[in-house]
């Protein structure tokens, strides 16, 4: 399946060796060096938490992305494919971040290495030249805490909590405060994953999101703890045909650590 923001293993096989395709391995460094797809570059986005979505914080995030993508040798001319072991939060975060940065062809490898059957993993790291990546932020796919606060309660904006049940119900608290953003719908992000580690089909996802109560005419804003699982939900929603989706970058690591933002405390029934 080649859909919004993703490519499959067949697409990759047909383009192996194409100089216009850059592969980015988003797994931890030890996994990358133990064996990766030939020609892949390495970028684990997980250490780059960013929990300040004020205007100053977003300016710093933009500068960070410009540096990272320049160091990876990315320009706007290539198709950039992020992967990990399956369709996971690391690869999705890389895809979303590059799309947000204004790149026209940011993709995730659907199913990751599990789907890339027949691909030989290598340990040698090929050299590549850095680039002068120029960020052109797409503010329409980013949510910030001031915007979230301003739009709480609006009927045309739906907030999507994709954390685990334990986090949502404050049984596992990973910030100063437990709870959830008021009015948020909830479903664990892994519900969008098929059993084989690929993203569920567009029809399956659409039915699932409609059953949750999401209106395709509305803006949907997923969040988690640090904007990684939310990046996966962003991608799943886009695949399902939801046109207006924003990833709340700061997520609960920002919202739940502030005293000045409202919270609700869902309880299991």
Return d(Cα 265, Cα 141) in angstroms, integer.
Answer: 27
- Nearest CA-CA partner of 117 in 31, 196, 221: 196
Q: Mind listing the domains of the chain with CATH numbers?
A: 6-122 (3.40.250.10), 139-255 (3.40.250.10)
Return d(Cα 30, Cα 221) in angstroms, integer. 33
Model pTM score: 0.96
- Of 9, 48, 31, 47, nearest to 84 by C-alpha is 31
Q: What string of pLDDT tens digits covers the 269 residues of the chain?
A: 456 799 999 999 999 889 999 999 999 999 999 999 999 999 999 999 899 999 999 999 999 999 999 999 999 999 999 999 999 999 999 999 999 999 999 999 999 999 998 899 999 999 999 999 999 999 999 999 999 999 999 999 999 999 999 999 999 999 999 999 999 999 999 999 999 999 999 999 999 999 999 999 999 999 999 999 999 999 999 999 999 999 999 999 999 999 999 999 999 98
Nearest to 254 by CA among 180, 175, 153: 175
Q: What is the number of H-type helices and E-type strands within the chain? A: 10, 12
- Fill in the DSSP letter of residue 80: E
Q: Are 40 and 97 in contact (CB under 8 A)?
A: no
pLDDT, residue 16, reads 87
Q: Provide the pLDDT for residue 1.
A: 47
**Residue 157: phi, psi to the nearest 5?**
-130, 125
CA atoms within 13 A on the CB side of 244: 11
Distance CA 110, CA 1 (A): 8
User: How far is C-alpha 53 from the geometric centre of its chain's CA atoms?
Assistant: 16
Helix (H, G, I), strand (E, B) or coil at 102: coil
């Amino acid at each position: 399946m080649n859909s919004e923001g993703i490519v499959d293993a067949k697409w990759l096989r047909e383009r192996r060796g194409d100089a216009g395709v850059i592969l980015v391995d988003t797994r931890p460094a030890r996994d990358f060096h133990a064996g990766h797809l030939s020609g892949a570059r390495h970028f684990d986005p997980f250490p780059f938490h960013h929990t300040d979505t004020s205007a100053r914080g977003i300016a710093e995030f933009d500068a960070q992305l410009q540096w990272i993508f320049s160091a990876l040798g990315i320009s706007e001319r290539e198709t950039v494919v992020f992967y990990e072991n399956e369709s996971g939060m690391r690869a999705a975060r890389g895809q979303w971040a590059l799309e947000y940065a204004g790149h026209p062809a940011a993709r995730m490898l659907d199913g990751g290495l599990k789907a890339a059957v027949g691909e030989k993993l290598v340990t040698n790291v090929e050299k590549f030249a850095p680039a002068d990546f120029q960020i052109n932020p797409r503010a329409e796919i980013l949510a910030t805490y001031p915007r979230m606060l301003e739009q709480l309660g609006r009927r045309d904006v739906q907030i999507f909590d994709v954390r685990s049940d334990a986090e949502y119900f404050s049984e596992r608290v990973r910030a100063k405060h437990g709870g959830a953003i008021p009015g948020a719908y909830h479903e664990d992000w892994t519900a969008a994953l098929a059993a084989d580690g690929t993203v569920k089909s567009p029809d399956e996802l659409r039915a699932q999101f409609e059953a949750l109560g999401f209106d395709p005419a509305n803006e949907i804003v997923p969040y988690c703890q640090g904007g990684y699982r939310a990046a996966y939900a962003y991608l799943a929603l886009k695949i399902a045909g939801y046109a207006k989706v924003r990833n709340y970058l700061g997520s609960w690591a920002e919202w739940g650590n502030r005293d000045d933002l409202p919270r609700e405390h869902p309880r299991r029934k």
